[in-house]
Amino acid sequence: MMKTWALRARAVRATWSGLSRTFGTSAPCDEALKIAYFGSDKFSIKSLQAVLQLQKEDPSAIESVTVVTKPPKRAGRGLKELKDVPITDFAVENGLTVLRADNKTEINALPNDFSLVVAVSYGGLIPQQFLANTKYGGLNVHPSFLPQYHGPAPIHHALLNGDKTTGVTVQTLHPTKFDRGRVVAISEKVPITRDSTFESLRDTLADTGAELLYSTIKDRNFTDSSYEVKSGCPDVYAGHVTSKMRAIDWSVDTADKLERYCNTLGSLYTHKLFEERKQVKAEFQEKLLRVLLSELKKVDGIEAFGAPGTHKLVDRTVLINTVDGVVSCPTLQVEFQAVEDADKFEKRCVGSKKKRAKSEEFQNGE
C-alpha cells in the first residue's frame, strides 16, 4: 500500500512542476519524529493510517505518535448518551495514547515533548504557544488547492460550484490563522464527476491526502522554512454550509444545479400548498407545508412539460419541471409525515374530500 503512495507522491510533484515554484531544499532526516496527531473524523483517520504505516516501515523516521482529540459530547434524546469521535476507537485499537483537549487552554496544558504537530480535521486552531514548543511546528492536510477554498467547507464548495477537479494541499500550521500556512505539497488533480457526492469525494480526497502526508513526512521538506509550493489557484473562501442552501428556487434553479446540490447537501426542500377540513361540508383551511425532495437527478432527453415546479407521476417517480429541463425524485417527505415513495406522494396530492393538494406545483423553499 505504501509503495503505491510513494509512487503517487512522485507523480504529484511531476504533475505540478509547471505550476509550482520551489525555494530551497529539504533538511536531512536527523532524528525520529515525536508526532502529536490532532484529529477527529474518518477523514483524519486515513492520514493517521499513513503516518502509522510510515512508522512501521521506517522506525527511524517516526519515534512515536500520540493522538489528541476532543472529549466525548452528549447527544441523543435528553443528552443522555456520550458520543465520541471516530478517531478515538481507531487510536485505541492501534495501541496509541489518546489525549483530550477542546480549546486553547487545554491544548497548552498538554505535556509537550513533541517535535511535530499534524492536524487533520481536528476542528480548532492549534495555539501558537503549543506549536512554538515543538521543533518543526505543524502540518495540516486540507482538501483543496490552497488558497482556493480556504475555510471550513472546501469539499462542499467545490461540488456546489460545479468544479471539474479538486485536490489536496499539505501546509504548515499558521500560529494564528486557519489555512494561511506555507504550502509544502500539492496532490494531483482529482476529477469531480456528475455522480460525485460529498461522501464519495470526501473519501477519495482522504485517500489522496493520506498519500500526500506520507510522502511529505518521509521527504521532510517541511523542515526547510524557505521551501514552498504555489498552486496558482485564486484565493477563495469556503464558508460554512447553511440550511438555506438547501432551499429550492424554481424560478432560477436549473436541473444541473438541483442534482449537484442534492448530491452535496442531501435532501433539498420546497413547499406545497395543501388544504384540509374536519367535516365534508366545512370550509377548507390552507396549509403551506415544507416538502423534502431526495435523490434529485436531471432527466436527460426530456423537455419541460409545464411551468417550473409543476410535477407528475411517471414510472413510480415524480418528474418535476425546472427552468431548463426536468428532474426526477423517487422519495419525498411532507412536513409532519413519514418519508414516502412517489406513488404515495401523488395519492396524497389527489387526496380525499377532507384533505388534498390545492395547487399542481411546488413553491419556492425560501
Residue 137 lies in a domain: yes
Contact indicator for 161, 247 with CB cutoff of 8 Å: no
CATH number for the domain spanning 350: value is 3.10.25.10
CA 90 to CA 43: how far, in whole Å?
12
The C-alpha torsion from 14 through 18 and 24 to 26, rounded to 10°, is -20
174 plus 269 within the same structural domain: no
* pLDDT tier, 30 (very low <50, low <70, confident <90, very high otherwise): low
Between 73 and 137, the more confident residue is 137
Contact indicator for 284, 354 with CB cutoff of 8 Å: no
Contacts of 189 (CB under 8 A, 6+ apart): 15, 165, 166, 167
186 plus 305 within the same structural domain: no
pTM of the model: 0.89
6 plus 59 within the same structural domain: yes
Residue at grid coordinates 505504501 = 2
Q: Which of 237, 254, 275 is the last residue of a domain?
A: 237
300 plus 273 within the same structural domain: yes
Angle between helices 198-219 and 255-265 in degrees, nearest 10: 60
Residue at grid coordinates 509503495 = 3
For the chain, the C-alpha Rg in angstroms (whole number) is: 25
Q: Which of 237, 262, 293 is the last residue of a domain?
A: 237
303 plus 224 within the same structural domain: no
What pLDDT score was predicted for residue 353?
Answer: 78
Contact indicator for 239, 153 with CB cutoff of 8 Å: yes
230 plus 251 within the same structural domain: no
Cell of 63: 519515534
195 plus 292 within the same structural domain: no
- Look up the domain containing 90 and give its range: 2-237
Residue 72 pLDDT greater than 60, yes or no:
yes
34-63 tens-digit pLDDT:
999 999 999 999 999 999 999 999 999 999
3-state SS record for the chain: CHHHHHHHHHHHHHHCCCCCCCCCCCCCCCCCEEEEEEECCHHHHHHHHHHHHHHHHCCCCEEEEEEEECCCEEECHHHCEEECCHHHHHHHHCCCEEEECCCHHHHHCCCCCCCEEEEECCCCCCCHHHHHCCCCCEEEEECCCCCEEECCCHHHHHHHCCCCEECCEEEECCCCCCCCCCEEEECCCEECCCCCCHHHHHHHHHHHHHHHHHHHHHHCHHHCCCCCCCCCCCCEECCCCCHHHHECCCCCCCHHHHHHHHHHHCCEEEEEEEEECCCCCCCCEEEEEEEEEECCEECCCCCCCCCCCEEEEECCEEEEECCCCEEEECEEEECCCCCEEHHHHHHHHHCCCCEEECCCECECCC
Residue 19 pLDDT greater than 80, yes or no:
no
* pLDDT tier, 77 (very low <50, low <70, confident <90, very high otherwise): confident
What pLDDT score was predicted for residue 63?
Answer: 97
232 plus 249 within the same structural domain: no
CATH number for the domain spanning 157: value is 3.40.50.170
352 plus 250 within the same structural domain: yes
126 plus 223 within the same structural domain: yes
Residue 366 lies in a domain: no
Q: Which of 208, 237, 266 is the last residue of a domain?
A: 237
Residue 125 lies in a domain: yes
Residue 363 lies in a domain: no
Contact indicator for 36, 117 with CB cutoff of 8 Å: yes
221 plus 318 within the same structural domain: no
Average pLDDT score, the chain: 91
What pLDDT score was predicted for residue 52?
Answer: 98
126-147 tens-digit pLDDT:
999 999 999 999 999 999 999 9
272-327 tens-digit pLDDT:
999 988 887 888 889 999 999 999 999 999 889 999 999 999 999 999 999 999 99
Q: What percent of the chain has pLDDT over 90?
A: 81
202 plus 311 within the same structural domain: no
Between 43 and 354, the more confident residue is 43
* Domain count within the chain: 2
